[in-house]
């Protein structure tokens, strides 16, 4: 569910960024930086669930 929420937030962010791009070139640079930040957040959020799964498996093994 965490991944699903993250995906929804990303879609909303992309739509918002596209709206900003329509306004000015200066805001495009900000939009690009925002997209890079969103991508970084997506990567981190994907890593956290994987680490959690590994921990759960380790506890189950014990």
Residue 21: pLDDT over 50: no
Residue 60: pLDDT over 50: yes
Neighbours of 31 (CB within 10 A): 20
Query: SS3 for 23?
Result: coil
State residue 20's pLDDT score.
46
pTM (two decimals): 0.24
Residue 34: pLDDT over 60: yes
* Between residues 33 and 48, the one the model is more confident about: 33
Closest C-alpha to 20, from 31, 4, 34, 7: 31
Closest C-alpha to 16, from 44, 39, 35: 35
Q: Which two tokens stand for residue 14?
A: 């992309």
CA atoms of 13 and 32, how far apart (whole Å): 11
């Amino acid at each position: 569910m965490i991944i699903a929420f993250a995906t929804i937030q990303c879609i909303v962010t992309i739509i918002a960024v596209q709206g900003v791009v329509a306004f000015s070139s200066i805001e495009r640079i900000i939009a690009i930086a925002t997209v890079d930040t969103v991508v970084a957040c997506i990567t981190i959020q994907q890593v956290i669930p994987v680490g959690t799964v590994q921990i759960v498996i380790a506890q189950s093994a014990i």
